Structure 1
Amino acid sequence: MKYLKTIYLLLCCALTLGACSDDDENSASGALSITTPTYTNVGYNKVTLSANISGSEGVNIVKRGFCYSTESNPSIYDTTDEVRGTEISTTLTGLSQQTTYYARAFVTLYNEEPKYSEEISFTTPTETLNDELAEYEAPTYVDDYTGFSAWSNRYQWNLANVHDPTVMKADDGYYYMYQTDASYGNAHNGNGHFHARRSKDLVNWEYLGATMSETPPTWIKEKLNAYRQEMGLEPIDNPSYGYWAPVARKVSTGKYRMYYSIVITNYIKTGKPEIENNGNFDNSWGERAFIGLMETSDPASNIWEDKGYVVCSASDKEMADYGRSSTGDWNAYFKINAIDPTYIITTTGEHWLIYGSWHNGIAAMQLNPGDGKPLNTLGDPWKITGENNSGYGKIIATRGNSRWQASEGPEIIYRDGYYYLFLAYGTLSVEYNTRVCRSTNIDGPYVDMNGNSAMGSGELYPILTAPYKFNNSYGWVGISHCGVFDDGEGNWFYTSQGRFPVNVGGNEYSNAIMMGHVRSIRWDANGWPLVMPERYGAVPQAPITEAEIAGNWEHLALTTSTGSQRTSETLTYDLSTHKITNGSWQNASWTFDEAAQTITTSSGVVLYLQREVDWEATPRTHTIVYAAQGNKKTYWGKKVQ
């Protein structure tokens, strides 16, 4: 009986299907037609398709549109885009660049098979820089991070609470940043030292944690008190430590070194803590600083192995000649101050440590490549003599003959035949500014862009960064003690902290707000670096056109007067006359070199252009900036809307 029912059902289905087929042949949809689609506006990720539907009167169309695929003969079971009307058109988005697509227009009908047009194909081009620029979104993180400056918010910091940064690019493609412990509200206190973060794009940074535990290596106290014993002084049971200014470098594949500074902030004579205005001053100088070494094979792990002592502060005076008549006495006991290390491997494979701060200048000491320690035996850290200062290093840069010089934070790199030595000038709170000199030899002689010796008493030029203020902002001060690094593809970057001026928004501690800055470097025709005025934001570097130059620019000059922020004026570049029509450069003519991406003024100043973020705009967006050097000044400019 079951078999008879099954046969009956099959016969019914067959009759029904036959009836549907007859209806299709006699339906009004037989007159329906779809033209072959046309395509226009093909972009790297989009295309516009158009087609016409005719003969649709009285036809029950359920859906209409376009179907597309990377395979021929796409159907409604592939990706579709539905539209309305008889003249149908749509823009497909989200396509892949440099890909061939096949497309057909379609209609689906009630109780009938879909109808399709003839097939077309098109190929999307490669994405261009102009495409990227049109879609660019600027960073949105805030500079005033006081609302989340606490340690508990450290994973939100990005570049907040950064001071004296050093950056290296590792084998895994990440840039790793390390720093001094300084932070707003002392957020780092009690949470280890030499804090780390990393980034793939130099814009978004992931906090990793401290590279050294809260307890410093035992060798520092042991070494300190061994020297104090030789000097006939009582040991310091609980030294006060300051953790300052590391440098990190890739040595070879799977091997990285970090040299770090630890300063003992106790007086030499009594060993009492050296704290301002606490009555502990004992008519002696503060104790020595030490530079140590750590190594890792994997910076992503953030596990560093301490390798111990490298060098300490050394004096050319007698062992007991550490007296200081008053806190206004600047005749420093130490000749070479063992802080602010920078490290380089020369083109011939030599390893060098460049270090020093504020005392008699910057020293260059050769290292053993195998262990990263001094190549030559160090003498006692007093009564040092000779050009090599008893092994503590040759002085390669000094700011006059004073034993207390406003110069520190050396950074050393090599590029195109020269070793470039970057230096921080001035005090941190405002005037901090960056200078540079260069030499064909790692140990000098170094000269500035005007041929002046780094061993002289004059100022070095150019000025690369200094306190400044564009409109619609508080601006920045304390912009120095830099790290300089490249991406391995010829692009160079400058990193440092920037500080807010005093009393921003009524905050009496705003000068302690320190944000990590990363900036692009362009190199002028003579091989001198130009640091861009706006911070790096990964803006696509689409070629700048002459028409974009026309309009208003905020312009400022960085000069030796760095005790206050340099403020901007407005210059207007006229395209029809190629004149500057207002401001201090009024009536100067200008020409544009598209290939070099430079503007040259009639006074001979060459402005090097770059696309960067307008950090002062609301909302932030991309703009064009320039940097130039001339007349012992550095010029910065920003195109404004």
Structure 2
Amino acid sequence: GLSLLALLVSCGGQKAATDTEQKGKKDVDVAVYKKYSRPDNSTQAKWETLNCHDPKLFQDDDGTYYIYSTDAAMGNGGAKGLQIRKSEDLVHWESLPKSMIQDNWDEQWLEWCGFNDVTASSWAPTVIKQHGLYYMLHGICVGASDGTHHNAAIAFAIASSAEGPFYPAHKAASADEKIGQTLASLGVSYTQSVFVRYAFVDRSDDPFENELVTKYPSLNTGSYDTVSREDWGDGSWSGGFGAIDPEFVFDVATGKLMTYQIGGNECYAVTYGSWKGGIAVMYVDSVSLKPVDSRGTELDVPADSVDGSFGVIVAGGNGAAYEGAQVIYNSDTGYYYVFVSMGDLQWEYRIGVGRSAELEGPYSDTSGNPMVLDVSRANDYHSYGGKILPAAELAGEYPFRSQGGQSILRTADGKIMLACHSRTNFTPEYYFFLQLHQMFFTPDGWPLLNQNEYYNDYDGADERLAPLSVQDVAGTYDVILTERSSETKAVKFFGDSSGRIAHVADALPATSKELVLTKGKNGGKLKGAYKGSWTLMDDGYSIRLSIDGTGDFQGYVLNSVDWAKKGTSGSRKTISFTALDAEKTGEYIWGNRKNQ
């Protein structure tokens, strides 16, 4: 035995040394290695990507990236009024110690929501820039005293700096000289700042102290049928649009906001909604950003006060747990895309996608299923929406789940980026992290994500689609093939002593399988967990995987960085593919090549 060992060491010594060197070599920035190794919650300025929920990705004119996000953190720490992070490269993030609102709360909005200056907080902001000013919509949903009849509202605020402070629209002109001068030059003024509201029942008879809150009736209630656009008369969990998660509709091919003619007025489109009656799209004046009625007339009252002004349904409905939506347009493909976050955000959140030729729908998912859910399908909502970013665990790596609260941006240099938050199966559920993924579109017009988090330096080049050879791509991969299901059962998460009822296909990270891409002339065979063939197209980055008995998956292969590997050393650069079978199953497949 000793002589055999000596022979192996003698013959393999040089290779063993090389492998050891490679194993300990760091080939990417230290930010990749430390992100999940030692999360720090001591102070907000040290959070970096930790404690980021419902991220809004925004790029200012000077190129600086910002993430604006919900008031959420372990132990409810941090400055209330929406978090701010900034970055120069989408990889290194600085968490600012101040908030967006900085105690400049809208008293009307607080009263509707049942808050005061001490208890105030907010969720899921969105920001656009025009006329040299920064315009924000933000909202929250709160339970009433009986614990059942929820209220929600979206408010409107303006700032002269990307880092705030953001003032309620009707106070902004007097609070900030630049805002006042700009609004005056535009001929714009505001009498109130509540954008749209939701209530289980109309609250116009409630004893509000603020007259402006009292005098606006609310039509967006639990008795409003979002499909027929009629009032049922009785409150229901399935009625009305939940007034949180606002987002503007823009073209990812150009980065420009989409405009629509409503009664001769140029308008933008805004989506919002959570659970209840589904996801809505409504319209706002393109200059003032005030809601408009069906004739395109600007409103100085909350949109839910005027019939036909607070939106039409484009996804979800009948109580299905869809929220956090964003609709984008892609003028290169000719489609609108609706992205929703679905399920319980702590256990089973996931992103679903559908598309339509028209803004107001109908939207269908990657399997052709309607994204608006009738009564017969609402309970099975986890079965719908293309599973573009699954909960996953590659062999020997960190497991991630509950990705959602997504935001999409076209950067100044032409990348399409998706930001989301993610929970893990290696920390308690109150740990959540910011993640960013680059988005691509297949030739037949469906979005794909690099399932690895974005990285910006590949020998001096950005993450991109670039020619690779068959030899580059061939190898052994850890792969995930998505599956959608509405099956529920008790599931244990990190630190749980007992199970929680959850949708299994989204709550439990899918475990990777091993797939070998053999080397042939223009591709090769598939061996291992799946059998079939693969082809690398002439451009060197388009790939087709034909899996026997399953379907044909079309997508892309590219250089990536594996942020999910464990440990603080070793190579993180890899080759990955991401693809979709849009013809048969509507499922996605992706994989990372094992280090060779």
* TM-score, scaled to structure 1: 0.65
In structure 2, the residue matched to 1:546 is 470
In structure 2, the residue matched to 1:81 is none
* Structure 1 residue 594 displacement after superposition: 4.2
* Structure 1 residue 356 displacement after superposition: 0.3
1:367 aligns with 2:245: no
Pair 389,499 (structure 1): closer, same or farther in 2 beyond 3 Å: farther
1:289 aligns with 2:171: no
* Structure 1 residue 206 displacement after superposition: 1.9
**8 Å CA contact 1:367, 1:374 repeated in 2:** yes
CA distances 1:308-347 after superposition (whole Å, capped 9, x unpaired): 2111115588989989xxxxxx941751110111113314
In structure 2, the residue matched to 1:564 is 508
1:447 aligns with one of 346, 364, 387: 364
**8 Å CA contact 1:500, 1:512 repeated in 2:** no
CA distances 1:51-81 after superposition (whole Å, capped 9, x unpaired): xxxxxxxxxxxxxxxxxxxxxxxxxxxxxxx
* Structure 1 residue 566 displacement after superposition: 0.5
Alignment partners' CA distance in 2, 1:463 and 1:198:
29
1:635 aligns with 2:527: no
* Structure 1 residue 214 displacement after superposition: 4.3
**8 Å CA contact 1:478, 1:499 repeated in 2:** yes
In structure 2, the residue matched to 1:354 is 271
CA distances 1:575-605 after superposition (whole Å, capped 9, x unpaired): 148544532213x122211405122233422
In structure 2, the residue matched to 1:622 is 573
Alignment partners' CA distance in 2, 1:590 and 1:138:
35
2:527 aligns with one of 573, 582, 589: 582
In structure 2, the residue matched to 1:420 is 337
Higher mean alpha-carbon deviation, 369-378 vs 546-555, is at: 369-378
Unaligned runs of 5+ in 1: 1-133, 226-235, 273-281, 324-329
1:601 aligns with 2:490: no
Pair 389,314 (structure 1): closer, same or farther in 2 beyond 3 Å: farther
1:393 aligns with 2:301: no
* Structure 1 residue 483 displacement after superposition: 0.3
* Structure 1 residue 370 displacement after superposition: 2.5
SS of the counterpart of 1:213? coil
Alignment partners' CA distance in 1, 2:30 and 2:589:
24
CA distances 1:452-508 after superposition (whole Å, capped 9, x unpaired): 33224455442111211112223111111200111134321111011112xx3xx6x
In structure 1, the residue matched to 2:443 is 525
Alignment partners' CA distance in 1, 2:433 and 2:302:
40
In structure 2, the residue matched to 1:211 is 100
Alignment partners' CA distance in 1, 2:399 and 2:164:
34
The residue type paired with residue 194 of structure 2 is Y
**8 Å CA contact 1:467, 1:479 repeated in 2:** yes
SS of the counterpart of 1:140? helix
Q: Between the two proteins, what is the percent identity of the paired residues? A: 24
Aligned length: 458
The residue type paired with residue 409 of structure 1 is G
In structure 2, the residue matched to 1:61 is none
2:432 aligns with one of 498, 514, 533: 514
Alignment partners' CA distance in 2, 1:193 and 1:319:
27
**8 Å CA contact 1:258, 1:294 repeated in 2:** yes
Pair 170,601 (structure 1): closer, same or farther in 2 beyond 3 Å: same
SS of the counterpart of 1:582? strand
Higher mean alpha-carbon deviation, 453-462 vs 588-597, is at: 453-462
SS of the counterpart of 2:89? coil
1:591 aligns with 2:535: yes
Structure with larger Rg: 1
* Structure 1 residue 202 displacement after superposition: 0.5
**8 Å CA contact 1:245, 1:341 repeated in 2:** yes
In structure 2, the residue matched to 1:408 is 323
The equivalences for 1:136-175 within 5 A come to 137=29, 139-144=31-36, 148-151=40-43, 154-175=44-65
SS of the counterpart of 2:405? coil
Alignment partners' CA distance in 1, 2:159 and 2:105:
18
In structure 1, the residue matched to 2:392 is 468
SS of the counterpart of 1:455? coil
In structure 2, the residue matched to 1:305 is 167
1:338 aligns with one of 238, 243, 263: 243
The residue type paired with residue 601 of structure 1 is L
Pair 380,545 (structure 1): closer, same or farther in 2 beyond 3 Å: closer
* Structure 1 residue 611 displacement after superposition: 1.6
Pair 238,566 (structure 1): closer, same or farther in 2 beyond 3 Å: same
Alignment partners' CA distance in 1, 2:94 and 2:301:
43
* Structure 1 residue 283 displacement after superposition: 7.0
Alignment partners' CA distance in 1, 2:203 and 2:156:
28
CA distances 1:404-434 after superposition (whole Å, capped 9, x unpaired): 2211100122211332211112111232111
**8 Å CA contact 2:201, 2:222 repeated in 1:** no
1:197 aligns with 2:82: no
SS of the counterpart of 2:403? coil
**8 Å CA contact 1:462, 1:633 repeated in 2:** yes
SS of the counterpart of 1:547? helix
**8 Å CA contact 1:521, 1:529 repeated in 2:** yes
User: Where does structure 1 differ by over 6 angstroms across 4 or more consecutive aligned residues?
Assistant: 236-239, 316-323, 378-382
